Structure 1
Amino acid sequence: EVGSTALTMAEYFRDVNKQDVLLFIDNIFRFVQAGSEVSALLGRMPSAVGYQPTLGTEMGSLQERITSTKEGSITSIQAVYVPADDLTDPAPATTSAHLDATTVPSRGLAAKGIYPAVDPLDSTSTMLQPWIVGEEHYETAQGVKQTLQRYKELQDIIAIPGLDELSEEDRLTVARARKIERFLSQPLFVAEVFTGSPGKYVSLSETIKGFQMILS
């Protein structure tokens, strides 16, 4: 099928031409759907949510071929459809297990007019380790995520009784989290089409310092 054919071509350029290959897959969910349809035609008993029982094996056989060798490399950027926005659905969950990083859009942030509407709690990266990005970057990122996670946990209280029912510490957390949301919606080049504001480059070191000022 299409997925295996594209990957075989990428392997040819990597192994024979000794090149570095960038492979785009849109959408990996179609690979899952195709496997599900074939499985149904073969009369196999479906697993959870109607997916084929061999979902994990099929996904692994494709994803594990996307790798580097001494001759070259294959790097893949994949679009992943998430049924009903449920990240625990077997299809996106099985896919994300093989990905080095994920960027998860948020309808809630888009509704607030915050762009790029990327959820920092659901998005992940295996590169976010202290021995890779440095201790300062790592600790700052963890502090931001902890603040946003606590803010998320307080949403129900904020929505009904209101901020007055929160402790002083929680009110401070909410204030910091809202500043972080706005800070993440700075005039980025990728968001120009949504915000109408021209993009502006900000260095990584400045970004880290900005987050530290909000958290302190």
Structure 2
Amino acid sequence: MSQLVGKISQIIGPVVDVKFDGTEGELPRIYEALEVTKSTGQVVVLEVQKHVGQDTVRAISMDSLDGCQRGQEVRSLGSSITMPIGDQIYGRVFNVVGEDIDGIGGIDRSRGLPIHRPAPAFEDLSTATEVLFTGIKVIDLIEPYSKGGKIGLFGGAGVGETVLIQELINN
């Protein structure tokens, strides 16, 4: 599919309707990424969620749309939003569209996986239970966590949940 170009026809909060005139009924696919450049020069990524009629798509913005207006040009990227993969991402912080936001730089974006893809086959998943050693003796003894699971902390105001999570991240 060639790169399609449309124009913003409506903005309601983070929801954007984009009209594609002259594309012979060809519209970006559901979950395809679109790009719009704000008046400040910042590029905002949109994700197609719905086809509305023959020539319009409804998309969700992945960032603030301040500075965008009706009639502004929108370009399709021809693929969905992808996240980088590999050893380079360990210990890094990314935004919702896969861009590094920790200020370190040096991420190879050529290799990546789409954020909308089929789940792995059940047979490919590991059923082995393994303990996650946190390096915090009290947690490892009283409340051990399993690897690959989710960890949540509940507590009153000021009891140290944030400090504990930071220790888990750093260890």
Give the TM-score of the pair, scaled to structure 2: 0.32
Decide which structure has greater strand share. Answer: 2
Larger RCO (CA under 8 A, 6+ residues apart): 2
Q: TM-score, normalised by structure 1?
A: 0.27
Q: Which has the higher helix share?
A: 1
